[in-house]
Amino acid sequence: MYCLELAGEDDAFASAEAAAGAATDVERIAPGLAVAADVDPAGVRTLAYTRHADALLARTDATIDAAVAALDANGIDRVGSVAVRARDVRNTTGIDTQRAERALGSALVDRGFSVDLDDPDHELRACFSDGVCCLGWHAVSSSRDYGTRKPTDRPFFQPGSMDPLLARACVNLAGVDRHATLLDPMCGTGGVLIEAGLVGADVVGNDAQEKMVRGSRENLDRYLDDHALVRGDATRLALRDDAVDCAVFDAPYGRQSKIETHRLDDLVAGALAEVRRVAAGRCVLVADRDWRDAAADAGWTVRERFERRVHRSLTRTILVLA
């Protein structure tokens, strides 16, 4: 059993991302915390909205005394040096984390461990959240390097580009792994393709505008060794049936798009139908409105639906389709 420390503010979204390929039997237990029956370390490293996975040692009440008692009650088959890290997840408990670290560290010293805060053999993590404390040996952390790929820092930028954190989460929700081929039929500046390529997938991008194809190619060349980009109509993709494993795309937003409403409806509906034809697995659609009816008409089943507020006038709807 593992404890997952979730990131962001939407635990349902974070848990769904983890469950899509990095963890099994994910269950939310408190704000910012979930447990999983098992994890794939390589998959956890790619997650956007999970910070850490710890091999669960004990689960108890969210007090220091309860945490120390749980540690004392559990057999420990490890030796060597240790560091203790305590977290008040989402600031829900008011726990004095330094006092928690000292108390838990003292209990481990009494059991023969030495303390090494710089390069320990083992790291014990105590995650306190509303009513719950999870004690666990640190197993794996996700890579938190998204700030190096901000849309404004790429060679080609357009307003409205998806941030890399959300792009990575959508890639993971689509079920991408290092053996998959992912399509973005409206690739824009290439943000989704970059994140998919960085987790090891083969990427195929399509966009109707030559400017976007050129700009996306410039961006992808900075981060990826290999990619495929074409200019084309998302409603008539130049791909055979089941040519790719999965797809992710960010549909044009009504308020920002110059496309007339009826044409936008036809475009998204047509793209959903084409992606259904060429993608053998999941599709993740990001938009400023709920396209569930169009997705159903195209033959998709809506597996999950999320809403993510961007600012006062924009809330994104994310549909996971299969």
Q: Are residues 180 and 312 in the same domain?
A: yes
Tokens of 154: 């790429």
Task: Report pLDDT for 143.
Answer: 96
Provide the CATH number for the domain around residue 246. 3.40.50.150
Residues 99 and 195 in one domain: no
Tell me how far apart the alpha carbons of residues 181 and 183 are, in angstroms, rounded to a whole number: 7
- Statement to judge: residues 186 and 286 lie in one domain: yes
Of 141, 166, 196, the one marking the end of a domain is 141
Is there a single domain that holds both residue 213 and residue 293?
A: yes
Do both 134 and 244 map to the same domain? no
Which amino acid is it at 201? A
124 lies in which domain range?
Answer: 2-141
Identify whether residues 12 and 136 lie together within a single domain: yes
Q: Which two tokens stand for residue 250?
A: 């960010």
**Residue 234 · residue 206 · CB < 8 Å:** yes
How far is it, in rounded angstroms, from Cα 72 to Cα 88? Answer: 21
**Which 3 state secondary structure label does DSSP give 8?**
coil
Among 141, 156, 180, where does a domain finish?
141
Q: Are 53 and 4 in contact (CB under 8 A)?
A: yes
Number of domains in the chain: 2
Half-sphere exposure of 87 (CA within 13 A, CB side): 22
Task: Tell me: do 112 and 174 sit in the same domain.
Answer: no
The alpha carbon dihedral of 211, 212, 213, 214 has a sign of: positive
Residues 179 and 110 in one domain: no
Residue 22's pLDDT is 96
**Closest CA relative to residue 286, chosen from 118, 176, 171:** 171
CA 168, 127, 309, 163 torsion-angle sign: negative
- pLDDT at residue 305, as a whole number: 98
Q: Are residues 127 and 263 in the same domain?
A: no
- Both 43 and 17 in a single domain? yes
CATH number, domain of 103, equals 3.30.2130.30
Q: Pairing state of beta strands 314-321 and 283-287?
A: antiparallel
Query: d(Cα 285, Cα 239) in Å, to the nearest integer?
Result: 19
How many beta carbons lie within 10 A of that of residue 172, not counting itself?
28
Which residue has tokens 């996971």? 320
Q: Do residues 26 and 2 make contact, with C-beta atoms less than 8 angstroms apart?
A: no
Distance CA 50, CA 80 (A): 28
Q: Are residues 267 and 225 in the same domain?
A: yes
- Amino acid letter at 284? V
Of 141, 170, 197, the residue that ends a domain is 141
Residues, the chain: 322
CA angle centred on 244, ends 239 and 246, rounded to 5°: 130
**Residue ranges of the chain whose pLDDT lies below 50:** none
**158-168: b (≥16 Cβ within 10 Å) or e:** eeebbebbbbb
What's this model's pTM, rounded to 2 decimal places? 0.94
- Separation of alpha carbons 279 and 116, rounded Å: 50
Whether residue 257 sits in one domain with residue 172: yes
Interatomic CA distance for residues 30 and 107, integer angstroms = 26
